[in-house]
Structure 1
Amino acid sequence: MVGIILVDAVLERSRVLKQALIEFVLEAEGELAEALERYIAAGSRSSNNRYDASFEQNLLIDSFLTEGKVGDNTVLDLFLASQPDLPETDRTLVSNWQRSFIGLFAVTEILSDGFELMNWFTAKHYTVKPNDPITLEEMARFKIGEILLSRIAPVTDIYWMFSGPCKPMGNLGKPKLAVAIGNFKENHNNALYSDAPDLLEQAWQSVEQYHQNFVEFFGSDQVTLPGYQLNKKMTDLQEIITKRHLEAAGIDNSKSLAEIAKEAGVTEEEIAAMAAEAGDDSKLVSQIFQGNSTTKMVMPKVDLPDTLKKAEQVTVFTHPRWGQTLLPTYTKFQTILESEDWQDNQEVEKLVRKYLEDSAINAFIWKRLAQQYPTQLEKALQIVLKRPEFRLENDFNALMKEFNKSLEPELPEIASVPLHLHNLFQEALGEVNKSKSKGKSKKPAGKGFR
């Protein structure tokens, strides 16, 4: 009972301090106000790719409270500096809010004063409590299995509180949950493993390893082949990678499935399920476990869509940070830029605009084009954008930002993912395919880890 009273007292103090922090930021002028404005502008999405406007703005403000900076100082540091009389316990409480993070959570248990939640990206569990009775009453309708998009902040070593707005999404079936996770990945890519830096490190390492394997196999980080031939080569590459992972894990790929499962410390069903996705050969599992880590990471299967398989030419790029990009129009772009009369070609504007507006074509591809065709590309951008003063050397970064292309790599699709996420997407895909085979008109989940 004493422990509960103490937690309630800390929650109440958290509510008071959080409100003071909000007022400190929203009533600020000068550099802090300007930093908030820039943060919201940078984080806001287009009207057709956002949550409702009010939820998004409140979410961004809450993120700024714990993630925002003014010069070299964090917002939390500035707030604490403005409150010299705060006791040390309050200062520690506020400072710990830098561990706040956004996640897609599932309600696993309903408590009298809160919830047990699981972060879908890391499978970590949290005891989360609203810090005021009104919010608790509003959340009374939540059920087991409810999916919540929310930020949470630490209150004690054990308990967390909801921070900012919470968006309930209902109890989603696997296909819809897969779409929700894919949307989260697209909108909050830098927050995928906020509470599990070890998983984030493993994911980035897998991107680098894939790049090394690709370059060793193809002899270059940029390859152009007919679509059908590239698809076959990619399958061959995955088989080689699988064998290497088996060997690195100390598994003899001549052994039976039961023997592999026993030595890998997993169930035979887990390996069999992955083998089914990789093909008929259970020993060539393209989603083999990486090493002997506590959390199993799985390499996504690279499977070219039919449009690329049928393409006359597909250029594939790999990079240790930017990951892999597949483009069926790159050679066409090259041919046009290399021709003497390229300025008269009507396809130039179409390609330039497509490469600027297509979110799948990142800044790395533009940098590669700029390296290969600096003069032609600069002139093409001047003409298409009607900016005769445009200079690649000076204006490249601003152009990328204008078209929402990050100058720093975000965790790419080729990165390995935790096994539970991989399994979810395979099961969701299986359900969709089963529905389609029965003649239903449901569309497959188009977003997620694949």
Structure 2
Amino acid sequence: MDLLERACELKPELVHYATSGRFARELSVVLDRFYADGAAPDEAAAFLPVDFFVHQHRLPGGDTVIDRFLDDHPGLDDVSRDLLLSWKDVVEGVFEVRGHDHDTATLHNLVDELTYQARSNLGAGAFEPLSPGMFVVGRLIPLGEEWLISGTPAVHPADARQTLVSVAAHVALANPAYVFRNPEALATARRLQSEQRRCFVAYFGTDQVVCPGSEVEERMRGYLAYQSDRIPSAGTQPVFEVPGHVRSSDTVALIFDETHGFAYYRDFGRLEEIFADPRLLDRRPYRDLLSGYLRGDEVSPVPLVRLAERDPARADAVFAKLLGRSGFRWDRSGEALLRTHKPAHYTAPHLPNLTPTTQAITDHLTLPTT
């Protein structure tokens, strides 16, 4: 049996396993999120949240449906296990059809600017309706050295290029990790982030600035103007906007970490107070603040790590009091604690938090407005 045949057997089994009811609560949350703006307009959109849930959604504990499937099917052969594990690596994109034969299509992704040889589990004639210049919007999963169409893609004619270029640009800007599948783009982004950090340090005199929330926008405008003069090709980034709850904070930390990149953290001054006097954790607002920084999976570990490194002994007292674990030692258990509550920050390499300019982004920005 070749790899495609095995994939055609495994994919329905995996989808059935994911939708059989054992993950009903988790799947319902994913469906609600995808359908927050209304029902899916077509079959491709309708199956997208299920396909995402099957391959990428993190279950409580940080594992995936694929991991659970493998645990529940210990008798699978090595080829099947390796194939399933590879399916956690999903390519999403806007693909231009460059050509096809009876069972393989050559697809160029406008998002990451890479070309993929794709197969389908629908049989040898699946690509017959396609012609060079048309577009496929969808997802690919690995199939050895090739790729397999995952889910139901949306097919568009060649004259939809202008619209789909804009779609690809928005996808790239919203999901830099998609662009970083391209090694050249990743190398460019790492270089740009390093240059931006040097500008940040040169402008502020340090890589960490603490200021009132009301001053954040003014300070950042000054820094970004300084950076723009020194790195004219710094890549495309979202416009820096400060939410109201951050603007109203007593203090905000602007940190440009060497590994994690730039981010801002509200109420940082109160967090510093806790590490200066752990007894403040007897007060509910301080305890809630530290707990939010620790248990918020989307909050970077950077501020906690930095405060703990200032005085590890004081960090011992802080977390011992918060966790109710006398004898807690930051040097022995600090990283494990962060990994438990912030698995997403430790399960993959840290990527730059800026997006280098792709051709789709350039084309989108130069499109005439109507």
What TM-score, normalized to structure 2? 0.65
Cα deviation code 1:2-28 (max 9, x no counterpart): xxxxxxxxxx854358689x8xxx9xx
Is 1:216 matched up with 2:202? yes
The reply to whether residue 242 of structure 1 matches residue 228 of structure 2 is yes
1:146 Cα deviation from its structure 2 partner: 4.3
Equivalent of residue 321 in structure 2, options 380, 383, 390: 383
Match of 1:108 among 89, 96, 99: 96
Which residue number corresponds to residue 322 of structure 1? Answer: 260
Match of 2:189 among 203, 212, 215: 203
Q: Deviations over 1:282-301 (max 9, x none)?
A: xxxxxx435xxxxxx43554
**Alpha-carbon offset, residue 213 of structure 1:** 0.8
Instruction: Indicate conservation of the 8 Å contact 1:103/1:119, yes or no.
Output: no
Amino acid at match of 1:214: F
* Match in the other structure for 1:411: 351
Do the aligned partners of 2:312 and 2:331 also contact (CA within 8 Å) in 1? no
CA apart distance, 1:326: 0.5
**Structure 1 position 111, deviation (Å):** 5.0
Give percent identity, aligned residues only: 15
Check 1:302–1:338 CA distance in 2 against 1; reply closer, same or farther (3 A cut). same
Alpha-carbon distance between aligned partners in 2 of 1:410 and 1:167, rounded to the nearest angstrom: 31
2:40 maps to none
State the Cα distance separating 1:367 from its structure 2 match.
1.0
One-letter amino acid of the counterpart of residue 307, structure 2: L
Q: Tell me if 1:166 matches 2:155.
A: no
- Picking from 226, 233, 243, the partner of 1:289 is 233
Provide closer, same or farther for how the CA distance between residues 175 and 369 of structure 1 changes in structure 2, counting only shifts above 3 A.
Answer: farther
Structure 1 unpaired stretches of 5+ = 1-11, 27-45, 64-75, 80-93, 246-287, 291-296, 435-450
The reply on whether 1:122 has 2:112 as its aligned counterpart is yes
- RMSD in angstroms over aligned alpha carbons? 4.8
Letter of the structure 1 residue corresponding to residue 335 of structure 2: N
Q: Which amino acid aligns with 2:341?
A: F
Structure 2 counterpart of 1:417, one-letter code: P
- Deviation digits for residues 368-415 of structure 1, max 9, x if unmatched? 0211343443333233333334321111122112112424762142x2
Report the alpha carbon displacement of residue 175 of structure 1 after superposing the two structures with TM. 9.2
Cα distance in 2 for residues equivalent to 1:15 and 1:397? 41
Q: Distance in 2 between matches of 1:49 and 1:184?
A: 18
Q: Secondary structure at the match of 2:93?
A: strand
CA distance in 1, matches of 2:152, 2:350: 25
**Residues 299 and 62 of structure 1: CA distance in aligned 2, closer, same or farther (over 3 Å):** same
1:227 aligns with 2:213: yes
Map Cα deviations across residues 236-277 of structure 1 (whole Å, 9 max, x no partner).
2222222223xxxxxxxxxxxxxxxxxxxxxxxxxxxxxxxx
> Alpha-carbon deviation of 1:219?
0.5
- Count residues in correspondence: 313
Report the alpha carbon displacement of residue 314 of structure 1 after superposing the two structures with TM: 1.4
Q: Deviations over 1:330-366 (max 9, x none)?
A: 1011124324742432223201221023234222222
Residue matched to 2:286: 348
Q: Write out aligned runs for 1:66-215 (5 A).
A: 102-109=90-97, 111=100, 113=102, 114-130=104-120, 133=123, 136=126, 145-153=135-143, 160-162=146-148, 165-166=150-151, 168=153, 189=177, 192-194=179-181, 196-215=182-201
* Alpha carbons of structure 1 residues 223 and 217: separation in structure 2 relative to 1, 3 Å: same
Contact 1:148 1:167 in 2 (8 A): yes
Q: 1:121 to 1:242 in 2, by over 3 A?
A: same
Q: Taking structure 1 as reference, are residues 343 and 127 closer, same or farther at Cα in structure 2, changes over 3 Å only?
A: closer
Comparing 221-230 with 211-220, greater Cα deviation is found at: 221-230
Could you tell me how far apart the structure 1 residues matched to 2:221 and 2:172 are? 27
| Counterpart amino acid of residue 243 in structure 2 | P
Offset from partner CA, 1:185-213 (integer Å, 9 cap, x none): 6xxx4x6422x211111111122111111
Residue 319 of structure 1: how far off its partner (Å): 1.4
